[in-house]
A and B are shown apart, each in its own frame.
Chain A
Amino acid sequence: MTVSVRTFDDGAWVSVDNERVVGVSELWRLSGFCPCEVGDVMLEAFVEADSTDEEVKASAVGRCIACGESGSMGWLTVGRLVDGEFRRTDPNEVQSHTAEP
């Protein structure tokens, strides 16, 4: 099943099949983004979005509210596709920050 994934509203949202599903300005738990062991990163804008058969990924710019580090980050998993249905990732689930997209 392929879905159509893109950023929307000047980077404010990731849309899946033209529905806005994940928005900016939430706090995500990320390791590797900043000096914190697990950063508490507020996403400010999505830059790119993509999907595989199982996952919807996005890259974003953000800022860690614990240490203040800001900048762009690599792919985050913002949701999973289960039987073609989108389920958003819990932002409290710790993700490791991968290389720049």
Chain B
Amino acid sequence: MPSDVEQWKDEIYGTDIRAHIERFAEEGWESIPDDETGAWFERFKWYGLYHQRAGQESYFMMRIGPPGGVLKPGQFRTMAEIAREFSTGPAENPIFGNGWLDVTTRQAIQLHWINLEDVPEIFERLEASGLSTIQACGDSWRNIVGCPVAGKDRHEFVDAETLADDLHDAFKGNSEHSNLPRKWKVSVTGCREGCGQGDINDLAFEPAEREVDGEAVRGYNVRVGGGLARNEPRFAKEIDVFVTPEEAVDVAAGISALFRDHGDRENRYNARIKFLMDEWGPEKFRRVLQDDYVDFELPSAGEDLRSEYSYNAGTTHGHGDHVGVHEQRDGDNYVGLNVLVGRIGADEALELADVADEYGSGEVRLTQRQNVILTDVPDENVDELLAEPVLEHYSPDPDAFQRGSIACTGTEFCSLSIVETKNRQVRYSRWLTENVSLPADVEDFHIHLSGCTASCAQPQIADVSLRGMKTRKDGEPVEAFDIGLAGGLGERPQFAQWVRQRVPADEVPGAIEHLVETYVAEREGEETFREFARDMDEEELAALCEPKETSYEDGFLHNTKRTWYPYAEDDDLDASPAPTNPDDTPVSADD
């Protein structure tokens, strides 16, 4: 039997949802019939609106996904202004205040505490600036990710920016592809370094070259079926297909239609294309694609560049991110800035928009490490840009732990989460910076923290992977983490091995301290952590990260799920003001 969600999607989905959002916004939160909230919240996701967790009723997360993370001049400012005006809630976050933007691991921006009544105006402003929330969540083409410096990069092999834009234009709002069995995540890589992270996406275009009619043509090899969620991580599989940049959109349409028709619509846990790939294997997949979904002969795969991939590859010559000042192909520079756990205060975001205008072209780009990049900075502007006060906090030269930390949304807003994430990760990284030292050649140390197995922070491809769990400590349930080690991408990508289960959250920094100290003491030459750990078995890896209490104090050990907002003065669920009016007063108070 098709799931509830499938029935709701059959009734109303895609662009038809917009008029209903406008109507509910006009009539107010309470006009959504109680017995239809499940259906409407599911549909709202297609327009980038995700209802927040219990205790925060009437508030939404809004996601805006620019293809490849590229924000044209002015667009970042628009979002910062919207964040300042609309993205504030009834209580403050002790580290981040009230009103901010979250840069996500799929090169999007998330705003929280959005009231439905404000949505039409926000949509209008976004659209006036050339932005949209379409398909940012929901069962369809999500934001297309890729090399964040596509079009500028000296290492570029094919023009990934153009393809990301072409795919965005072809599939956003396309009714043929708007109702898929599950989310559909696409990545385009054009560089020699592999920084599009194609391996963990449903559909990946990877740079390749092939002879076509006697001539060497640059284009893409196609991989299908990557994904990290639900304890079932998969790397995308090579399906032995080469596409030219001109044919890529047609082949993508074929693959998306194949998923639309053959993906599992009965069981949402089995719906992602990785499970169809498990069942069929790449040969059958290719055959069905060729026979039923494209009307020209698919060439076999070309020669790829994977042996050159250095992004998050765990090699000494590799680069783990885009932080720092780097020369562009045209002689200008891009300046990558570290954003700890992806969160930027709205006022600081406006300052960043100002310096992007003043010293660069005004373009701001978002990376899959939750960072931002200012592009097109001429040599003569670099020093002045680096001297700007806002770059002290959003630094092009951060400490290695600050630089390597990623965290997902967590119990602050997310229903699925088991633990508090972003504030905790900020505190972990500060403690590590103060108490643990890395040698100068280790510029970044990747610690990815996810609140549950959905794996939004991509924990499996980090040096240290943290995944939210529960355990008991002195008899009491406490927030905890499973610890995984030595994952990463590159020519031979590898998921982290989970070597410690259910470590209480306050003992995690001690475990990482032990691990780093052992690594630093025992590594050979300039070995990276992944190289150091490569030949260790599970037991040896587990011995590296012995849990231990330290001077680190955890503020959120006891069940942040049971609160309406983990940082509120009175955090009890019954103390929640939600549902509220747009001014954050309780709905019931004014009538």
Contacts and interface: CB of A to CB of B under 8 A. Distances in A.
A42 B453 CA distance: 13
Interface residues of A, number: 25
A84 B415 CA distance: 26
B469 A6 contact: no
Interface in B256-297: 268-269
A25 B418 CA distance: 5
Contact of B416 (A9, A27, A63): A9
B38 A12 contact: no
A63 B470 CA distance: 10
A47 B268 CA distance: 10
B361 interface: no
Contact of B37 (A18, A40, A42): A18
A65 B471 contact: yes
B35 A18 contact: yes
Contacts of A6: 4, 38
B502 interface: yes
A25 B561 contact: yes
A20 B38 CA distance: 10
B415 A27 contact: no
Nearest to B231: A70
Nearest to A66: B472
Contacts of B471: 65
B38 A18 contact: yes
A17 interface: yes
Dominant secondary structure of chain B at its interface with chain A: mixed
A59 interface: no
Contacts of A45: 269, 416
Contacts of B470: 25-27, 42, 65
Interface string B405-418: 00000000001111
A40 B417 CA distance: 19
A68 interface: yes
B34 A27 contact: no
A44 B452 contact: yes
B502 A65 contact: yes
Contacts of A20: 54, 415
Contacts of A18: 34-35, 37-38
B34 A12 contact: no
Contacts of B497: none
A98 interface: no
B415 A9 contact: yes
B561 A10 contact: no
Contacts, number: 62
Nearest to B52: A9
B477 interface: yes
A79 B468 CA distance: 26
B561 A4 contact: no
Contact of B501 (A9, A25, A47, A68): A68
B469 A42 contact: yes
B54 A13 contact: yes
A23 interface: yes
Interface in A21-37: 23-27
Contact of A12 (B37, B415, B468): B415
A71 to B, nearest CB: 11
Contact of B477 (A4, A9, A26, A44): A26
A8 B416 contact: no
B501 A23 contact: no
Interface in B402-452: 415-418, 452
B512 to A, nearest CB: 21
Given A40-B472, A42-B469, A17 B34 contact: yes
Interface string A46-85: 0100000000000000010100100000000000000000
A68 B559 CA distance: 20
B563 to A, nearest CB: 12
Given A6-B4, A6-B38, A27 B54 contact: no
B49 to A, nearest CB: 14
A68 B471 CA distance: 11
A100 to B, nearest CB: 14
Contacts of A44: 452-453
Nearest to A27: B477
A12 B51 CA distance: 13
A10 B416 contact: yes
A12 B4 contact: no
Nearest to B502: A65
A15 B39 CA distance: 13
Nearest to B267: A47
A63 B416 CA distance: 15
Given A11-B416, A13-B54, 14 more contacts: A9-B416, A11-B269, A12-B416, A17-B34, A17-B35, A18-B35, A18-B37, A20-B54, A26-B559, A26-B561, A27-B477, A40-B472, A42-B418, A45-B416
30 contacts: A6-B4, A6-B38, A8-B415, A9-B415, A11-B269, A11-B416, A12-B416, A17-B34, A17-B35, A18-B34, A18-B37, A23-B415, A23-B561, A24-B418, A25-B452, A25-B470, A26-B470, A26-B477, A26-B559, A27-B477, A40-B472, A42-B469, A42-B470, A44-B453, A45-B416, A47-B269, A65-B469, A65-B471, A65-B472, A68-B501
Nearest 8 pairs of A and B residues by beta carbon: A12-B415, A9-B415, A25-B418, A20-B54, A12-B416, A42-B470, A18-B34, A27-B477
Interface of A: 4, 6, 8-13, 15, 17-18, 20, 23-27, 40, 42, 44-45, 47, 63, 65, 68
